Chain A
């Protein structure tokens, strides 16, 4: 407040720094991708079609947000797709066998069960100190196994569901399906949790420097536990959304989807080393991956080439990530970095 301090530090983020951020880079890459597809197939970029792509990607977006929280704390949650399968199967069975149960209760069940499954992961990581990748590799199998036990391996097909169960995600509010609105709401929730709560801040702190976080009075184990809970909660929600959207529930629902979710985070600039990443990045990463998956078939790329292209993009994104992080390292080491150096801020 006083005029005494010589170089007044501006509080806001300056424009150049903003443009240089990965989020902007992703927006540009996404626009370029759409432009290329548009030259071959103009109708892909109509608002209606793009809305369809967004709706298609909604589940990936929601789950990428949960995964981003976990990855921020230097962990990974491999069990998210199995969580979808188990919660999806559970609510499908309830709906098929007890059509009287109101939808709101089913959604609450999905949320609650998802949260519980996430909490199990988190508790194992926190209390037993098992590495997250091992814990979730185990629970991935357990959760899918439970889905098999519950269903006996049988499918629940579209005619067994109540109409409300299937129609709500498709229902349009102001011309946009509820499924898309759910993704928007999840993004809003994540923006608040990541940026405006102590929990979100502790995820960044624990991932960025666990020791410093402990020294600041943050319980690193608890922060990680809560990240797994957040991921589980959103996965549980997606369990209902997935089954309702595809109107079928079986054991292998969303098989392998955890890799897409992690890929979306990585493409979006969430650092596997923890502590770096943003909600916007995770959303854009998911949208980028979703757009690729929707656009490539349109321009007649074979499914196998599609997989190869997705993989190449993930590696390119990680390469960019590491480069960006290494460059920052050099700035720390440069002896004269104490002076305010505008060029260095453009990082």
Chain B
């Protein structure tokens, strides 16, 4: 297998002086797929990692990168395809199996233990033992110190992890990977929370790992750093590998084209909208850490798409508008009147509602019956003299259940027993019951099946038609292009562009979201 892959490289790569020197693959994936209920997360991906080389993995949100990492680290099991380590097929039943196969992932937010020391974190689970079976502390400290020294990391092994910066934690995680002698190191957006200098330090460590013949999978949205650090690339789209090769052989535009790569073939039920006066006007809106100086307006009947990559600050902006986290500066006007939103109750009163991305965690009380969830935001409307009238509650719930074609055996059924799509209907129904002026939909169709998706889209169009102003956060380009009247793009907490529907292309949006090559930080 290894020989065949090598020969295929030889056959298709234009002759270069170092082409013959490509080492045999350390890790190979062929046609790996993974299906979650209602979603095909991976649909036959191929990936090849070679020792001493950094492979960049790029793709839109939801392209399947995280699922791949979870499969490679033994958290999920693939439904099909083949994983080979040094040519031998492997199947990981647990994270321990992946670790035994010398694969380690360093996550965005590292999964280490705050209250343990650096040395304990590095050797947790595989501490050196004395002959009597006790932990050999002197050896543990000495080896940790040696590993950190090897990384050029000025960290004392006896420091507690909670006292370290994020960059230092990354180094500890890397030291941990080296302590189990990992040959494949996966880095999932390691630079997301690092300063410029810390990023440079990380690059040096990566160069060092390359020198030790480790194969590195580097996941990032920042194209500049990919060109700085990566040797090869692989692009995922909709759970498939749509391109791979040498980083030197492709430019920024080429990568964007691969990431987007498709025409908007899905039909979106977007009705031509009658757009009226501004409803929501936001000026100089800032947050201490997540976003800064955002100004935009949202008009009656309009769907404003909000696009950006993970970590661009979109959800944080929405949560701020909804009173979950206070902004540090800026003003918000609803129908021309300045409003101060300090709690979610204030936002609801001002006519702003938010349908969160994570239904289970934020949207519904799963143990509560459907009708109680539906009336949760507007108890006043179903009460008389402070007492809830269940007849009114059922009437309200039945109204929205019929409007959304809710599939449930009974309105007294707990929301937790419904499918994802139906839970979403209950959550949206709950908000409409408050008679809002602005509705913020955060990834409204994430994780729901195709049929329900178009129902949600039709419904969104209908809402806008009734004069509601809709702010739709979405990472799905077809959805943005198909549904939005205007699109606002955010990158690293700042406005990166505002586009009208006419003449909008996916390339334009992705380029704005990833930043043009060369504009470093």
Contacts and interface: CB of A to CB of B under 8 A. Distances in A.
B407 A340 contact: yes
Interface string A169-208: 0000000000000000000000010011110010011001
B158 interface: no
A197 B417 contact: no
Nearest to B452: A338
A211 B365 CA distance: 9
Interface stretch (A6-14, A54-62, A63-71): A6-14
Interface stretch (B68-76, B176-184, B236-244, B376-384): B376-384
Contact of B398 (A1, A6, A217, A332): A1
Contacts of A10: 409-411
B363 A9 contact: no
A40 to B, nearest CB: 40
A52 B407 CA distance: 49
A217 B434 CA distance: 11
Contacts of A213: 365, 376
B416 A335 contact: no
B409 A215 contact: no
Chain A interface residue bracket vs B: 35 or more
A179 B483 CA distance: 65
Interface stretch (B82-90, B123-131, B220-228, B366-374): B366-374
A159 B267 CA distance: 87
Contacts of A208: 365-368
A6 B324 CA distance: 38
B310 interface: no
B417 A275 contact: no
Interface in B345-387: 345, 347-349, 354, 356, 361-368, 371-372, 376-377, 379-380, 383, 386-387
Contacts of B363: 212, 215
Nearest to A329: B416
A342 B417 CA distance: 11
Contact of A339 (B361, B365, B407, B412): B407
Contact of B348 (A14, A196, A217): A217
B361 A209 contact: yes
A190 to B, nearest CB: 14
Contacts of B348: 216-217
Contacts of B356: 215
A276 interface: yes
Contact of A11 (B368, B380, B398, B399): B398
Interface string B477-502: 00000000000000000000000000
Interface string B375-419: 011011001001110000010001101100111111111101111
Contacts of B324: 214-215
Contact of A209 (B343, B366, B379): B366
A192 B409 contact: no
A275 B379 CA distance: 18
B37 interface: yes
Given A201-B388, A215-B363, A347-B417, A9 B379 contact: no
A215 B430 CA distance: 11
Contacts of A329: 416
B416 A332 contact: yes
B38 A335 contact: yes
B61 interface: no
Given A5-B402, A198-B383, A338-B418, A345 B344 contact: no
A312 interface: no
Contacts of A6: 405
B417 A215 contact: no
Interface string A305-333: 00000000000000000000000110111
A74 B416 CA distance: 19
B344 A205 contact: no
A164 interface: no
A276 B367 contact: yes
Given A4-B402, A209-B361, A328 B417 contact: yes
A341 interface: yes
A90 B100 CA distance: 68
B422 interface: yes
A197 B372 CA distance: 12
A217 to B, nearest CB: 4
Contacts of A1: 398-399, 402
A338 B418 CA distance: 6
A217 B402 contact: no
Contact of B409 (A9, A214, A276, A332): A9
Given A196-B387, A276-B367, A219 B343 contact: yes
B389 to A, nearest CB: 8
B440 to A, nearest CB: 11
B51 interface: no
Contacts of A149: none
A201 B376 contact: yes
A9 B411 contact: yes
B361 A338 contact: no
Contact of A337 (B345, B399, B406, B418): B418
A166 interface: no
B427 to A, nearest CB: 9
A216 B376 contact: yes
B25 interface: no
A204 B418 contact: no
B78 interface: no
Given A205-B368, A208-B368, A338 B394 contact: no
B421 interface: yes
B409 A212 contact: no
A344 interface: yes
A337 B37 CA distance: 11
Nearest to B37: A335
A2 B402 contact: yes
A216 B387 contact: no
A212 B418 contact: no
Given A9-B410, A197-B387, A217 B344 contact: yes
A126 B348 CA distance: 22
Contacts of B399: 1
A217 B418 contact: no
13 contacts: A10-B410, A12-B412, A13-B412, A192-B387, A198-B386, A204-B372, A209-B361, A209-B367, A217-B348, A218-B376, A329-B416, A345-B413, A347-B417
**The 8 A-B residue pairs with the shortest CB-CB distance in the complex, in nearest-first order:** A338-B419, A335-B37, A208-B365, A340-B409, A217-B345, A217-B348, A209-B365, A216-B376
Interface of B: 37-38, 322, 324, 343-345, 347-349, 354, 356, 361-368, 371-372, 376-377, 379-380, 383, 386-388, 394, 398-399, 401-402, 405-414, 416-419, 421-422, 430
